[in-house]
Structure 1
Amino acid sequence: MQSVLLLQGPLGPFFQHFSYFLDQQGVEVHKINFNGGDGCWPCKGRNVDYTGTLPEWRHFLDHYLKEHRIDTVFCYSDCREYHAVARQFCLSHGVRFFVFEEGYLRPHYITLEENGVNAHSPWFGKLEQLLDEVDPEHPHHDFDIKPNFKRRIYFAMRYYFSMHFSHGRFKHYVHHRHRPYWQEGTAWLKGWYAKYSHTAHDKGLQQHLIDYHSGRIHLVPLQVADDFQIRTHSPFKDVAESIEHILASFAANAPQDDVLLLKHHPMDRGYTNYSALIHGLARQLGIKDRVFYGFEISLPDLYHHCKGVVTVNSTVGLSALFHHVPTITLGQALYDLPGLTSQCSLDEFWQQPQPVKKRRFRQLQSFLLKNTQLNGSFYCEPAKTCQQIWQQLQSLHHQSAPMPKPAQPVTLPTPFSLKSQAPKTGKPAEEVA
């Protein structure tokens, strides 16, 4: 790995820190910005603004990779419009393509895979056979990742407002969330308000469910409205359509004493609210007293009272399996395997959810930790996270010459701050308290 191209990263300065780290290992770094938000935290090396159209992007990428002899591309999420084009191009032209994503096993891990994640993972469709050879190990991580929601609010607001005010320069940009930029920024503030305004009510709702419906609760963890896992890897066009499908099946097939709890996604608080849809459908289907909807539900405290978990392909499914709760997926999911998830239809699941084989889950957990997961975060602990990434890249670099160990000592840029703005010199901002 000699010359690297960074595309869009997680919201915030993580790619900025990653670029400085790579530079210290002697790697030439290039960064492409597709909008003003991407340029909020300038990276080490060459920063280039792409202002062309989406149809022109493939030609630009081809020329750029050849001109600068790029051998490796990194991005966050492989289904964004520009990243999907880059993925196809790299796979067909022998350029290594690595994808970051939120951790399959959260909160102390992030995901890094070559060629794609989730249903694009190189392990997708192969795990059933591979797990037979895996020896379950007790998982452990070197450091904990603390809650960082306030920090992410700041990163998101800064990113989207920068995107909005630079729209004239990037007028051809196609965003993966099709809303006005100012709505994206303010949505994170609304999400903060929604979190604290629902806390008291949902605490009472959770206790009510435990007191009166323990053992008969079916949990539905909703996904982000614009989740590519819904749009690309499921039979549903959006989350609303999946809700309609689940409620109709529950009404027609679930035992009369069972209840359904739909939990809002924490990163979608400021964007959507399905109250009207859920309660309206529940009334039409005659199940209004058996359907509940909450925002601030503590899943670890609820799992032991659940009869089953229904998800399209959320990583919450892995959390449910960890707690040995019968789970069914309605879309493509890396963990949808016999012995783990129920392989029956949704109509059958309400009546006879299939149990989770504990050893099988431990095998899956061990495999994912070894091959896809890194102890770290995109929003805090940048130095430790970059070290974890470098170690993983060494193990994945089996097809080329081994990469050297990180330069010692590794001096990362100053950590991120709510009070400090990224200077025009490209030095990182400080960490949000």
Structure 2
Amino acid sequence: MSGVAEHSPATEIRSNAERQVLFLQGPLSPLYKLTGDRLEALGFGVHRINFCAGDWLHWHGKGCVSFKRRPTEWPAFIEDYLRTHGITDLVLHGDQRLYHRVAIEKAIQQDVYVAVTELGALRPGWMTLERNGLSTLSHFPSDPVSIMRIAEAAGQVDLTPKYPSSFWLQTAPDVVYNLTNVFLKPLFPAYQRHTIYPPIQEYLRGAVRLLKEKRRNQAAEHLLASLREKAVRYYVLPLQLEGDFQLRRHSPFDSFEQVLEIVFQSLAEEAPEDVHIVLKSHPLDVGFEDWPGVSKRLADRFGVGDRVHFLDGGGLAKPFEEALGVVTLNSTAGLEALQAGLPVKTLVPAHYDIADLTHQGDLATFWHDPVYPDTDLLSAYIQALAASTQVRGSIHNAEGVVVAADNIARKVAIRDLNSFGSYVDPPPRLARARALGVPL
């Protein structure tokens, strides 16, 4: 079975009356409250721990408690809470937040079933739901044979785009949540947020950036047209946010600046002289780091200033049209590139970093002879992913959040996470990640 652990969800289920489900922080959305309501209606005991005023705003009342102590007291608190309340299932959003990392560790020690949610890998219109961990901690197999087997077992999956994102459902809940935490900080004085920027400064910068969006998009279009007119051969490097846990926890780097240094040095020393790099800013970046200035400084240092270009607007579809390939740390943009038929080189073991999908050699070989994705394997990977670790729905769509709550509640109720034999233990990407210095 190539290391794939088969399991029957039915053999792991207790009666609903014996199941006690604990929710920690969820996405900035009614999703977790709706999911809890559905599980409670099915007879499950439902619990919630709030860490800040924003959490309380989303969900308070019956079954809710607040943790207001110092983070150093959290390990003992959650260990005792799990045992005292007979918690059988733990649901949380993102596995690398301070409170969540500890909770997962304590839960696994007590044989609690852990469900981790995240935004969908196949977004829009999907949510990720995996057992125990995500990304380099994902238990989804990484070998092509197992992936093909899962896809065959799952059968065809409807991948029709649904639940388009609403700008207001992306921004308004975030603003309300964080401003609530700012103004009601005295109610939860010891709370340690997982984000790295002061919210008010971030919103002010974001508002200014939004006002300049049209100008930035036009500049990006002009740059791409110029590159096309000059027949420039280029690779795309999508930037990732400094606060992204894919960078902070699932990579060995302290800053994306270190990623730029590695790529620029390789470009200077190992790539053909006519090969360029197009950097693409992250759509949610509000400019704390001044990446245009940072990239210019680094490019000049390595003598490739005339071969590095910065796109600070637009999407990825247009730059992908003429690209030779994509270099990425471990962004979901890499999966978009594979779906566009482009070769992809990841710098750490991303979820989709699989032989015959991504370039398995180093950057030097990627510049000269990039490996294109096997279309049959890519189709199987997406099919297997959708069937086993993704659920329909979206927190950024009014209808989609209801659908997501229904689907997550159903999956948790029958313990059908990582279905079709897609749970491998230990996590198959973890050893490679640790060998690169990933701190997990």
- TM-score by structure 2 length? 0.84
Structure 2 residue corresponding to 1:158, chosen from 176, 181, 201: 176
Preserved contact between residue 219 and residue 309 of structure 1 (Cα < 8 Å) = yes
Cross-structure match for 2:109:
92
CA distance in 2, matches of 1:90, 1:160: 28
Cross-structure match for 2:423:
none
CA distance in 1, matches of 2:231, 2:67: 54
Q: Deviations over 1:365-411 (max 9, x none)?
A: 11101111112112222222222223433563499xxxxxxxxxxxx
Structure 2 residue corresponding to 1:130, chosen from 146, 158, 168: 146
Cross-structure match for 2:12:
none
Is residue 290 of structure 1 aligned with residue 312 of structure 2?
A: no
Aligned AA (1:20): D
Preserved contact between residue 153 and residue 189 of structure 1 (Cα < 8 Å) = no
Structure 1 residue corresponding to 2:201, chosen from 166, 176, 183: 183
Cross-structure match for 2:336:
319
Q: Which has the higher helix share?
A: 2
Aligned AA (1:148): S
Cross-structure match for 1:109:
126
Q: Tell me: CA distance 1:387–1:176, structure 2 relative to 1, closer, same or farther (3 Å).
A: same
Unmatched 5+ residue regions in structure 2? 1-15, 419-440
Q: Deviation of residue 170 (structure 1)? A: 1.8
Q: How many residues align?
A: 397
Preserved contact between residue 189 and residue 270 of structure 1 (Cα < 8 Å) = no
Give SS of 2:65's match. strand
Preserved contact between residue 313 and residue 329 of structure 1 (Cα < 8 Å) = yes
Preserved contact between residue 116 and residue 129 of structure 2 (Cα < 8 Å) = yes
Cross-structure match for 1:209:
227
Cross-structure match for 2:167:
149
Deviates more, 1:188-197 or 1:359-368: 188-197
Q: Tell me: CA distance 1:374–1:307, structure 2 relative to 1, closer, same or farther (3 Å).
A: same
Structure 1 residue corresponding to 2:40, chosen from 20, 23, 26: 23
Give SS of 2:284's match. helix
Cross-structure match for 1:430:
none
Cross-structure match for 1:385:
404
Structure 2 residue corresponding to 1:307, chosen from 324, 339, 356: 324
Q: Deviation of residue 105 (structure 1)? A: 1.6
CA distance in 1, matches of 2:321, 2:215: 26
| Cα RMSD after superposing both structures | 2.3
Aligned AA (2:314): I
Cross-structure match for 1:247:
264
Give SS of 2:54's match. coil
Unmatched 5+ residue regions in structure 1? 400-433
Q: How does 1:321-336 map to 2 (within 5 A)?
A: 321-336=338-353
Q: Tell me: CA distance 1:191–1:35, structure 2 relative to 1, closer, same or farther (3 Å).
A: farther
CA distance in 2, matches of 1:135, 1:77: 26
Q: Deviation of residue 55 (structure 1)? A: 1.6
Aligned AA (1:64): Y
Q: Deviation of residue 269 (structure 1)? A: 3.1
CA distance in 1, matches of 2:190, 2:226: 51
Q: Tell me: CA distance 1:217–1:297, structure 2 relative to 1, closer, same or farther (3 Å).
A: farther
CA distance in 1, matches of 2:143, 2:217: 39
Aligned AA (1:130): S
Q: Tell me: CA distance 1:271–1:354, structure 2 relative to 1, closer, same or farther (3 Å).
A: same
Give SS of 2:236's match. strand
CA distance in 2, matches of 1:307, 1:155: 38
Q: Tell me: CA distance 1:360–1:195, structure 2 relative to 1, closer, same or farther (3 Å).
A: same
Aligned AA (1:207): A
Preserved contact between residue 157 and residue 184 of structure 1 (Cα < 8 Å) = no
Cross-structure match for 1:340:
357
CA distance in 1, matches of 2:117, 2:149: 26
CA distance in 1, matches of 2:58, 2:417: 32
Is residue 257 of structure 1 aligned with residue 271 of structure 2?
A: no
CA distance in 1, matches of 2:331, 2:61: 34
CA distance in 2, matches of 1:10, 1:398: 19
- TM-score by structure 1 length? 0.85
Q: Deviation of residue 190 (structure 1)? A: 4.3
Q: Deviation of residue 134 (structure 1)? A: 4.1
Preserved contact between residue 156 and residue 185 of structure 1 (Cα < 8 Å) = no
CA distance in 1, matches of 2:166, 2:362: 38
Q: Which has the higher contact order (CA 8 A, sep 6+)?
A: 2
Cross-structure match for 1:69:
86
Is residue 170 of structure 1 aligned with residue 179 of structure 2?
A: no
Deviates more, 1:203-212 or 1:256-265: 203-212
Q: Deviation of residue 143 (structure 1)? A: 5.7
Cross-structure match for 2:95:
78
CA distance in 2, matches of 1:166, 1:379: 25
The percent of aligned pairs where both chains have the same amino acid is: 29
Preserved contact between residue 230 and residue 331 of structure 1 (Cα < 8 Å) = no
Preserved contact between residue 52 and residue 181 of structure 2 (Cα < 8 Å) = yes
Preserved contact between residue 100 and residue 112 of structure 1 (Cα < 8 Å) = yes
Q: Tell me: CA distance 1:193–1:86, structure 2 relative to 1, closer, same or farther (3 Å).
A: farther
Is residue 237 of structure 1 aligned with residue 254 of structure 2?
A: yes
Q: Deviations over 1:65-92 (max 9, x none)?
A: 2232221111111001110001111111
Is residue 277 of structure 1 aligned with residue 294 of structure 2?
A: yes
Preserved contact between residue 72 and residue 95 of structure 1 (Cα < 8 Å) = yes
Q: Deviations over 1:165-221 (max 9, x none)?
A: 12222222222223334334445434533544412211222333333336x220001
Deviates more, 1:98-107 or 1:261-270: 261-270
